[in-house]
Amino acid sequence: MVTIPLDEFGEYDPEECYQCLLQHPAVTSECRCGLCCRGLLIEVLTEDAEREPRIKELGSPLLTPPDESGHRHPVGYILNSREDMACVFLDRATNLCTIHETRPLLCRLFDCDGEGREQLIELGIIQRDE
Ligand code: SF4
């Protein structure tokens, strides 16, 4: 079932709608540096895990506080590995994403050649001239 997100005025907000954002053309970065997959916190949505079930297997779930029956429910997943902090789906040898076709929305929209690059510079992950 698709949930239509409404803002506080009950209006439909396409910028908050996962299914709408998924229809945006994916950003294609030319750099292939893999630095965003190695240096950023990769926090993805439960919707991403429904599209790509390996996220549930390899990601670290972010859980709600226990409900009245003591159950905690996933609200998202962290994809950084415990060993080197790079994404668990990054092929370290090639810098390619091993779930490219079904990668999370966050990754589909991250512009490593544009705004995303500025973010990497601001975070000190790369230098301005790299
Ligand atoms: S899912 Fe793929 S594109 Fe996204 S951070 Fe991991 S390796 Fe990179």
Domain ranges of the chain: 14-122
34 C-beta closer than 6 A to ligand 1: no
Output the pLDDT for position 130: 55
pLDDT at 15: 66
Convert 109-126 to b/e letters by CB count within 10 Å (16 or more is b). ebebeeebbebbeeeebb
Residues 6+ apart with CB under 8 A from 127: 121
Give me the average pLDDT of each 10-residue run along the chain (130 residues). Answer: 62 75 82 87 96 97 96 96 96 93 93 85 82
pTM: 0.83
Mutate to test the pocket of ligand 1, among 89, 94, 106 (most ligand atoms within 8 A of CB): 89
Residues 34-66: tens digit of each pLDDT:
889 998 999 999 999 999 999 999 999 999 999
Q: Is the CB of 76 under 6 A from ligand 1?
A: no
- d(CA 24, CA 96) in angstroms, rounded, equals 21
- Tell me, using a 6 A CB cutoff, whether residue 103 lines ligand 1: yes
**pLDDT value for 30:** 73
